[in-house]
Amino acid sequence: MKKAILFLLVSMLVLSVVSCKGDTGKDTENITVLLDWVPNTNHTGLYAAQELGYFENEGLEVEILQVNEGGTAQLVAAGQAHFGISYQEEVTYARVEEIPVVAIAAIVQHNTSGFASPVEKGIKTPADFEGKKYGGWGSPMEEAILRAMMDKYDADFDKLEMVSIGSADFFTSVTKDVDFTWIYYGWDGVAAGLRGIDLNFINLRKEDEALDFYTPVIIASEETLDQNAELAERFLRAVTKGYEYSIENPEEAAEFLLKVSPELDRELVIESQKYLSAEYQSDAPAWGLMKRQIWESYAKWMHERDLIENMIDVDKAFTNEYLPGE
Protein backbone atom coordinates (compact mmCIF):
# COMPACT_ATOMS: atom_id res chain seq x y z
CA MET A 1 0.00 0.00 0.00
CA LYS A 2 2.80 2.44 0.92
CA LYS A 3 4.51 1.83 -2.42
CA ALA A 4 1.24 2.39 -4.29
CA ILE A 5 0.62 5.68 -2.49
CA LEU A 6 4.22 6.77 -3.06
CA PHE A 7 3.92 5.91 -6.74
CA LEU A 8 0.81 8.05 -7.11
CA LEU A 9 2.33 10.99 -5.23
CA VAL A 10 5.48 11.00 -7.30
CA SER A 11 3.47 10.52 -10.51
CA MET A 12 1.67 13.78 -9.79
CA LEU A 13 4.96 15.61 -9.25
CA VAL A 14 7.05 14.36 -12.14
CA LEU A 15 7.20 16.09 -15.50
CA SER A 16 7.94 14.48 -18.83
CA VAL A 17 10.91 15.74 -20.84
CA VAL A 18 9.80 18.91 -22.59
CA SER A 19 11.64 21.54 -24.57
CA CYS A 20 11.43 25.27 -24.11
CA LYS A 21 13.57 28.29 -24.83
CA GLY A 22 15.69 29.44 -21.90
CA ASP A 23 17.29 32.84 -21.35
CA THR A 24 20.28 31.71 -23.39
CA GLY A 25 18.09 31.01 -26.40
CA LYS A 26 19.00 27.32 -26.28
CA ASP A 27 16.51 24.50 -25.92
CA THR A 28 16.13 23.53 -22.26
CA GLU A 29 14.95 20.12 -21.14
CA ASN A 30 13.04 19.80 -17.88
CA ILE A 31 14.04 16.62 -16.08
CA THR A 32 13.47 15.10 -12.66
CA VAL A 33 15.78 13.35 -10.21
CA LEU A 34 14.30 11.23 -7.45
CA LEU A 35 16.24 11.05 -4.19
CA ASP A 36 16.42 7.88 -2.10
CA TRP A 37 15.70 9.78 1.11
CA VAL A 38 15.60 13.35 2.40
CA PRO A 39 18.44 15.61 1.21
CA ASN A 40 21.77 14.82 2.86
CA THR A 41 25.48 14.98 2.11
CA ASN A 42 25.28 12.03 -0.29
CA HIS A 43 23.36 14.37 -2.59
CA THR A 44 25.45 17.53 -2.33
CA GLY A 45 26.93 17.20 -5.82
CA LEU A 46 23.45 17.48 -7.30
CA TYR A 47 22.77 20.72 -5.45
CA ALA A 48 26.21 22.04 -6.36
CA ALA A 49 25.49 21.36 -10.04
CA GLN A 50 22.21 23.18 -9.68
CA GLU A 51 23.55 26.17 -7.73
CA LEU A 52 26.67 26.67 -9.87
CA GLY A 53 24.82 26.52 -13.19
CA TYR A 54 26.31 23.24 -14.40
CA PHE A 55 22.87 21.88 -15.28
CA GLU A 56 21.95 25.13 -17.00
CA ASN A 57 25.15 24.98 -19.04
CA GLU A 58 24.03 21.58 -20.33
CA GLY A 59 20.58 22.91 -21.25
CA LEU A 60 18.89 21.18 -18.32
CA GLU A 61 16.29 22.41 -15.87
CA VAL A 62 16.43 19.88 -13.04
CA GLU A 63 13.80 19.26 -10.40
CA ILE A 64 15.11 17.24 -7.45
CA LEU A 65 12.27 15.36 -5.76
CA GLN A 66 12.41 14.38 -2.11
CA VAL A 67 10.93 11.02 -1.20
CA ASN A 68 10.82 9.66 2.33
CA GLU A 69 10.40 6.00 1.40
CA GLY A 70 12.27 3.51 -0.78
CA GLY A 71 11.31 2.14 -4.18
CA THR A 72 13.37 4.50 -6.33
CA ALA A 73 14.29 1.74 -8.78
CA GLN A 74 10.67 0.83 -9.50
CA LEU A 75 9.68 4.46 -10.00
CA VAL A 76 12.58 5.25 -12.31
CA ALA A 77 11.95 2.07 -14.31
CA ALA A 78 8.29 3.08 -14.68
CA GLY A 79 9.30 6.44 -16.14
CA GLN A 80 8.24 8.44 -13.10
CA ALA A 81 11.64 10.15 -12.93
CA HIS A 82 14.46 10.44 -15.43
CA PHE A 83 17.19 9.65 -12.91
CA GLY A 84 17.25 8.47 -9.33
CA ILE A 85 19.45 7.79 -6.35
CA SER A 86 19.59 4.14 -5.38
CA TYR A 87 22.18 1.62 -4.15
CA GLN A 88 23.72 -1.58 -5.45
CA GLU A 89 21.54 -3.89 -3.38
CA GLU A 90 18.33 -2.34 -4.72
CA VAL A 91 19.57 -2.44 -8.31
CA THR A 92 20.59 -6.09 -7.91
CA TYR A 93 17.15 -7.04 -6.60
CA ALA A 94 15.57 -5.04 -9.43
CA ARG A 95 17.57 -6.85 -12.10
CA VAL A 96 16.59 -10.24 -10.64
CA GLU A 97 12.94 -9.15 -10.93
CA GLU A 98 13.58 -7.91 -14.49
CA ILE A 99 13.02 -4.29 -13.52
CA PRO A 100 15.05 -2.48 -16.21
CA VAL A 101 17.17 0.02 -14.26
CA VAL A 102 20.89 0.61 -14.71
CA ALA A 103 23.43 2.21 -12.36
CA ILE A 104 25.30 4.90 -14.28
CA ALA A 105 27.56 6.41 -11.59
CA ALA A 106 28.78 5.64 -8.07
CA ILE A 107 28.25 8.60 -5.76
CA VAL A 108 30.58 7.17 -3.11
CA GLN A 109 33.41 4.90 -4.20
CA HIS A 110 33.48 2.57 -1.17
CA ASN A 111 30.91 1.33 1.32
CA THR A 112 31.18 3.56 4.40
CA SER A 113 28.59 1.68 6.47
CA GLY A 114 28.95 -0.69 9.37
CA PHE A 115 27.69 -1.74 12.79
CA ALA A 116 28.06 0.88 15.51
CA SER A 117 27.62 0.92 19.26
CA PRO A 118 28.70 3.09 22.20
CA VAL A 119 32.01 1.80 23.57
CA GLU A 120 30.43 0.94 26.91
CA LYS A 121 28.43 -1.80 25.17
CA GLY A 122 31.68 -3.71 24.66
CA ILE A 123 30.99 -4.69 21.04
CA LYS A 124 34.42 -4.70 19.40
CA THR A 125 33.99 -7.54 16.88
CA PRO A 126 31.04 -9.59 15.56
CA ALA A 127 31.92 -12.20 18.19
CA ASP A 128 30.51 -9.74 20.71
CA PHE A 129 27.08 -9.77 19.04
CA GLU A 130 26.19 -12.80 21.15
CA GLY A 131 23.73 -11.86 23.89
CA LYS A 132 23.19 -8.39 22.41
CA LYS A 133 20.17 -6.69 20.87
CA TYR A 134 20.40 -5.40 17.30
CA GLY A 135 18.05 -2.69 16.05
CA GLY A 136 17.30 -2.63 12.33
CA TRP A 137 14.49 -2.46 9.80
CA GLY A 138 13.86 -6.19 9.37
CA SER A 139 15.36 -6.88 5.94
CA PRO A 140 16.69 -10.30 4.85
CA MET A 141 19.98 -8.58 3.94
CA GLU A 142 20.52 -7.49 7.55
CA GLU A 143 20.08 -11.02 8.86
CA ALA A 144 22.38 -12.42 6.16
CA ILE A 145 25.16 -9.95 6.93
CA LEU A 146 24.87 -10.38 10.69
CA ARG A 147 24.89 -14.16 10.34
CA ALA A 148 27.90 -14.07 8.00
CA MET A 149 29.81 -11.78 10.36
CA MET A 150 29.09 -13.99 13.36
CA ASP A 151 29.92 -17.19 11.47
CA LYS A 152 33.31 -15.72 10.60
CA TYR A 153 34.04 -15.37 14.32
CA ASP A 154 32.45 -18.73 15.29
CA ALA A 155 29.73 -16.86 17.20
CA ASP A 156 26.21 -18.24 17.68
CA PHE A 157 23.71 -16.23 15.62
CA ASP A 158 20.82 -17.67 17.64
CA LYS A 159 22.11 -15.75 20.65
CA LEU A 160 21.55 -12.40 18.91
CA GLU A 161 18.21 -10.67 19.39
CA MET A 162 16.97 -8.67 16.40
CA VAL A 163 14.30 -6.00 16.79
CA SER A 164 12.82 -3.51 14.35
CA ILE A 165 13.41 0.17 15.05
CA GLY A 166 12.50 1.48 11.60
CA SER A 167 13.96 4.92 10.98
CA ALA A 168 14.38 5.75 14.67
CA ASP A 169 17.30 7.99 15.64
CA PHE A 170 20.55 6.09 16.19
CA PHE A 171 21.47 7.83 19.44
CA THR A 172 18.04 7.41 20.97
CA SER A 173 17.94 3.74 19.97
CA VAL A 174 21.32 2.74 21.41
CA THR A 175 20.57 4.63 24.60
CA LYS A 176 17.12 3.20 25.30
CA ASP A 177 16.25 0.21 23.13
CA VAL A 178 19.16 -1.70 21.56
CA ASP A 179 22.88 -2.32 21.82
CA PHE A 180 23.95 -1.63 18.24
CA THR A 181 22.64 -0.70 14.80
CA TRP A 182 23.80 -0.35 11.20
CA ILE A 183 24.91 3.19 10.33
CA TYR A 184 26.64 5.18 7.63
CA TYR A 185 29.72 6.62 9.26
CA GLY A 186 29.58 9.80 7.19
CA TRP A 187 26.46 10.88 9.07
CA ASP A 188 25.90 9.14 12.40
CA GLY A 189 29.59 8.42 12.93
CA VAL A 190 30.46 12.06 12.36
CA ALA A 191 27.54 13.12 14.56
CA ALA A 192 28.85 10.92 17.38
CA GLY A 193 32.20 12.67 17.22
CA LEU A 194 30.55 16.08 17.43
CA ARG A 195 28.57 14.93 20.46
CA GLY A 196 31.66 13.57 22.18
CA ILE A 197 30.31 10.00 22.05
CA ASP A 198 32.92 7.27 21.55
CA LEU A 199 31.79 4.51 19.22
CA ASN A 200 32.96 1.04 18.34
CA PHE A 201 32.52 0.79 14.58
CA ILE A 202 32.71 -2.50 12.67
CA ASN A 203 33.34 -1.56 9.04
CA LEU A 204 31.61 -3.97 6.66
CA ARG A 205 34.13 -3.64 3.85
CA LYS A 206 36.99 -4.48 6.19
CA GLU A 207 35.22 -7.61 7.44
CA ASP A 208 34.39 -8.94 3.96
CA GLU A 209 35.59 -7.42 0.68
CA ALA A 210 32.39 -8.63 -1.02
CA LEU A 211 30.50 -6.14 1.14
CA ASP A 212 32.38 -3.17 -0.32
CA PHE A 213 29.40 -2.49 -2.58
CA TYR A 214 28.38 0.82 -4.14
CA THR A 215 26.02 2.84 -2.00
CA PRO A 216 24.59 5.14 -3.19
CA VAL A 217 24.50 5.13 -7.00
CA ILE A 218 22.75 7.14 -9.70
CA ILE A 219 20.33 5.12 -11.81
CA ALA A 220 18.37 5.49 -15.02
CA SER A 221 15.95 3.26 -16.89
CA GLU A 222 17.03 1.24 -19.89
CA GLU A 223 14.45 3.15 -21.90
CA THR A 224 15.98 6.52 -21.04
CA LEU A 225 19.46 5.30 -21.90
CA ASP A 226 18.36 3.66 -25.16
CA GLN A 227 16.24 6.54 -26.38
CA ASN A 228 18.17 9.52 -25.05
CA ALA A 229 21.79 8.62 -24.38
CA GLU A 230 22.79 12.23 -24.97
CA LEU A 231 20.56 13.32 -22.08
CA ALA A 232 22.35 10.91 -19.74
CA GLU A 233 25.72 12.21 -20.92
CA ARG A 234 24.74 15.85 -20.39
CA PHE A 235 23.25 15.10 -17.00
CA LEU A 236 26.36 13.24 -15.83
CA ARG A 237 28.70 15.92 -17.15
CA ALA A 238 26.96 18.43 -14.92
CA VAL A 239 26.69 16.08 -11.94
CA THR A 240 30.35 15.10 -12.22
CA LYS A 241 31.34 18.76 -12.05
CA GLY A 242 29.08 19.14 -9.01
CA TYR A 243 30.76 16.32 -7.14
CA GLU A 244 34.22 17.44 -8.22
CA TYR A 245 33.45 20.89 -6.84
CA SER A 246 32.24 19.30 -3.60
CA ILE A 247 35.45 17.29 -3.32
CA GLU A 248 37.59 20.41 -3.67
CA ASN A 249 35.34 22.78 -1.71
CA PRO A 250 33.49 20.81 0.99
CA GLU A 251 32.52 23.76 3.20
CA GLU A 252 31.21 25.83 0.31
CA ALA A 253 29.34 22.81 -1.06
CA ALA A 254 27.77 22.20 2.33
CA GLU A 255 26.13 25.61 2.04
CA PHE A 256 24.27 24.48 -1.10
CA LEU A 257 22.72 21.61 0.85
CA LEU A 258 21.89 23.85 3.79
CA LYS A 259 20.20 26.26 1.40
CA VAL A 260 17.62 23.63 0.39
CA SER A 261 17.43 22.00 3.85
CA PRO A 262 18.04 24.76 6.41
CA GLU A 263 16.54 22.57 9.12
CA LEU A 264 19.66 20.36 9.11
CA ASP A 265 22.30 20.74 11.81
CA ARG A 266 24.82 23.14 10.26
CA GLU A 267 27.90 21.84 12.06
CA LEU A 268 26.98 18.23 11.25
CA VAL A 269 26.43 19.00 7.56
CA ILE A 270 29.81 20.73 7.26
CA GLU A 271 31.72 17.98 9.07
CA SER A 272 29.85 15.26 7.20
CA GLN A 273 30.66 17.02 3.94
CA LYS A 274 34.34 17.11 4.81
CA TYR A 275 34.27 13.38 5.51
CA LEU A 276 32.36 12.43 2.36
CA SER A 277 34.30 14.75 0.10
CA ALA A 278 37.27 12.44 0.65
CA GLU A 279 35.10 9.39 -0.03
CA TYR A 280 33.21 10.43 -3.19
CA GLN A 281 36.08 9.53 -5.53
CA SER A 282 38.51 8.04 -3.01
CA ASP A 283 41.06 5.91 -4.90
CA ALA A 284 39.18 5.78 -8.23
CA PRO A 285 40.74 7.42 -11.31
CA ALA A 286 37.66 9.65 -11.63
CA TRP A 287 34.42 10.32 -9.80
CA GLY A 288 31.55 7.94 -10.57
CA LEU A 289 33.50 5.03 -12.02
CA MET A 290 32.40 1.51 -11.05
CA LYS A 291 34.18 -1.84 -11.27
CA ARG A 292 32.62 -4.98 -12.70
CA GLN A 293 34.30 -7.05 -9.99
CA ILE A 294 32.40 -5.18 -7.26
CA TRP A 295 29.06 -5.83 -8.93
CA GLU A 296 29.84 -9.47 -9.57
CA SER A 297 31.25 -10.32 -6.14
CA TYR A 298 28.33 -8.74 -4.27
CA ALA A 299 25.77 -10.47 -6.48
CA LYS A 300 27.53 -13.80 -5.85
CA TRP A 301 27.52 -13.09 -2.12
CA MET A 302 23.77 -12.47 -2.26
CA HIS A 303 23.14 -15.55 -4.39
CA GLU A 304 25.15 -17.85 -2.14
CA ARG A 305 22.98 -16.77 0.80
CA ASP A 306 19.69 -17.19 -1.09
CA LEU A 307 18.98 -13.47 -1.07
CA ILE A 308 18.47 -13.63 -4.84
CA GLU A 309 17.20 -16.64 -6.75
CA ASN A 310 19.42 -16.22 -9.79
CA MET A 311 22.67 -14.50 -10.64
CA ILE A 312 22.18 -11.28 -12.55
CA ASP A 313 23.89 -10.21 -15.75
CA VAL A 314 26.11 -7.58 -14.11
CA ASP A 315 26.88 -5.99 -17.47
CA LYS A 316 23.22 -4.98 -17.68
CA ALA A 317 23.12 -3.75 -14.09
CA PHE A 318 25.72 -1.00 -14.42
CA THR A 319 27.68 0.99 -16.96
CA ASN A 320 30.37 3.68 -16.99
CA GLU A 321 29.78 4.68 -20.60
CA TYR A 322 27.79 7.86 -19.89
CA LEU A 323 30.40 9.35 -17.59
CA PRO A 324 32.64 12.10 -18.99
CA GLY A 325 35.61 10.72 -20.85
CA GLU A 326 34.22 7.19 -21.08
- Domain presence at residue 86: yes
Mean pLDDT lowest among 154-158, 167-171, 219-223: 167-171
User: At which of 211, 235, 255 does a domain end?
Assistant: 211
- Domain presence at residue 324: no
**What count of Cα atoms within 13 Å lies in the side-chain half-sphere of residue 326?**
21
For residues 83 and 222, membership in a common domain is answered with: yes
Name the region of 196 (left: φ>0; alpha: ψ -120 to 50; beta: rest). left
- Mention every residue, 6+ apart, whose C-beta is less than 8 A from residue 119: 198, 199, 200
The per-residue pLDDT for 20 is 41
The per-residue pLDDT for 67 is 73
Query: Which one has a higher pLDDT value, 319 or 325?
Result: 319
Task: Over range 144-150, report the average pLDDT.
Answer: 97
For residues 204 and 222, membership in a common domain is answered with: no
Give the rounded percent of residues in the chain with a pLDDT score beyond 70: 91
User: At which of 211, 226, 251 does a domain end?
Assistant: 211
CATH number at residue 17: 3.40.190.10
Per-residue pLDDT band for 326 (boundaries 50, 70, 90) equals confident
pLDDT, one tens digit per residue, over 170-223 is: 999 999 999 999 999 999 999 999 999 999 999 999 999 999 999 999 999 999
pTM exceeds 0.85 for this model:
yes
Residue 1 pLDDT greater than 60, yes or no = no
Averaged pLDDT score across all residues of the chain: 91
pLDDT, one tens digit per residue, over 237-248 is: 999 999 999 999
Task: Over range 129-142, report the average pLDDT.
Answer: 94
Count up the domains in the chain and report the number.
2
Per-residue pLDDT band for 68 (boundaries 50, 70, 90) equals low
Nearest Cα residue to 236 out of 162, 312, 294, 323? 323
- For residue 247, which phi and psi values (nearest 5 degrees)? -65, -45
Per-residue pLDDT band for 69 (boundaries 50, 70, 90) equals low
Question: b/e map of 66-104 (b: 16 or more CB within 10 Å)?
Answer: ebeebbbbbbbbbebbbbbbbbbbbbbbbbbeebbbbbb
Query: Which one has a higher pLDDT value, 3 or 90?
Result: 90
For residues 288 and 265, membership in a common domain is answered with: yes
Residue 19 pLDDT greater than 50, yes or no = no
